[in-house]
Structure 1
Amino acid sequence: MNELVLYAKDIKKYYQSVKAVDGVSIELYRGEVISILGPNGAGKTTTVEMLEGLRRSDNGEIVYFDKYTPLDKFVKEKIGVCLQENFFFEELTVLETLKLYMSLYEKNTDLDELVQEFQLEEKLKARVKHLSGGQKQRLAVALAFVNDPEVVFLDEPTVGLDPQARRHLWDVILKYKSKGKSIILTTHYMDEAHQLSDRVYIMDHGRVIAHGTPQELITSSGLNSVIEFHKDFAQLVDIEGIIISGEYAYVSVVDAVPVIEKLIRVNVKNFVLRHPTLEDVFLKLTGRKID
Structure 2
Amino acid sequence: MIEFINLNKSFSKNLVLDNLNLNVSEGKISAVLGPNGSGKSTIIKCLLGLVLPDSGQILFDRQPIRNTWQYREKIDYLPQIARFPENLAISELIKMITDIRQQQGDSEALIELFELSPFMHKKIRHLSGGTRQKVNILLTFMFNNPVIILDEPSSGLDPVAIIRLKDLIHRERDNGKTILFTSHIMSLVEDLADEIIFLLEGKVYFQGSKEEILQFSDKPNLENAIASIISGDIPDPLKKKHLANYL
TM-score normalised by length of structure 2: 0.88
Q: Where in structure 2 are there 5+ consecutive unaligned residues? A: 233-247
Residue in structure 2 matched with residue 186 of structure 1 by the alignment: 182
Indicate how the Cα distance of structure 1 residues 179 and 119 shifts in structure 2: closer, same or farther if over 3 A, else same: farther
Q: Where in structure 1 are there 5+ consecutive unaligned residues? A: 224-275
Provide, for residues 150-200 of structure 1, a one-character-per-residue CA deviation record: whole Å limited to 9, x for no partner.
111110010111122111111111111112221110001011111111111
Residue in structure 2 matched with residue 64 of structure 1 by the alignment: 60
Q: Is the CA contact (8 Å cut-off) linking 1:98 and 1:146 kept in structure 2? A: no
Q: Distance in 2 between matches of 1:129 and 1:23?
A: 42
Residue in structure 2 matched with residue 162 of structure 1 by the alignment: 158
Q: Is the CA contact (8 Å cut-off) linking 2:57 and 2:64 kept in structure 1? A: no
Q: Distance in 2 between matches of 1:44 and 1:106?
A: 29
* TM-superposed deviation, 1:71: 5.3
Residue in structure 2 matched with residue 252 of structure 1 by the alignment: none
1:284 is aligned to 2:228: yes
1:28 is aligned to 2:24: yes
Q: Distance in 1 between matches of 2:218 and 2:110?
A: 43
Counting only pairs closer than 5 Å after superposition, residues 219-230 of structure 1 correspond to structure 2 as 219-223=215-219
TM-score normalised by length of structure 1: 0.75
Letter in 2 for 1:93: A
Q: Is the CA contact (8 Å cut-off) linking 1:86 and 1:140 kept in structure 2? A: yes
User: SS where residue 109 of structure 2 aligns?
Assistant: helix
* TM-superposed deviation, 1:284: 0.8
Counting only pairs closer than 5 Å after superposition, residues 74-223 of structure 1 correspond to structure 2 as 74-223=70-219
Letter in 1 for 2:16: A
Q: Is the CA contact (8 Å cut-off) linking 2:7 and 2:53 kept in structure 1? A: yes
User: SS where residue 31 of structure 1 aligns?
Assistant: coil
Provide, for residues 91-145 of structure 1, a one-character-per-residue CA deviation record: whole Å limited to 9, x for no partner.
1111111111111123223231232344322211111111111010111122123
Q: Is the CA contact (8 Å cut-off) linking 1:134 and 1:162 kept in structure 2? A: yes
Q: Distance in 2 between matches of 1:199 and 1:29?
A: 8
Provide, for residues 7-48 of structure 1, a one-character-per-residue CA deviation record: whole Å limited to 9, x for no partner.
112211013432111122222233211011111111111111
Q: Is the CA contact (8 Å cut-off) linking 2:107 and 2:138 kept in structure 1? A: no
C-alpha RMSD over aligned residues: 1.7
Letter in 1 for 2:149: F
Letter in 2 for 1:67: Q
Q: Distance in 2 between matches of 1:121 and 1:180?
A: 29
Q: Distance in 2 between matches of 1:26 and 1:170?
A: 25
* TM-superposed deviation, 1:282: 0.6
* TM-superposed deviation, 1:74: 2.2
Q: Which runs of 4+ in 1 moved over 4 A?
A: none
1:15 is aligned to 2:7: no
More helix per residue: 1 or 2? 2
Letter in 1 for 2:41: T
**Rg larger for:** 1
Q: Distance in 2 between matches of 1:114 and 1:107?
A: 17
User: SS where residue 141 of structure 2 aligns?
Assistant: coil
Task: Among all aligned residue pairs of Structure 1 and Structure 2, give the percentage whose two residues are the same amino acid.
Answer: 29
Q: Is the CA contact (8 Å cut-off) linking 1:202 and 1:211 kept in structure 2? A: yes
Q: Distance in 1 between matches of 2:174 and 2:114?
A: 17
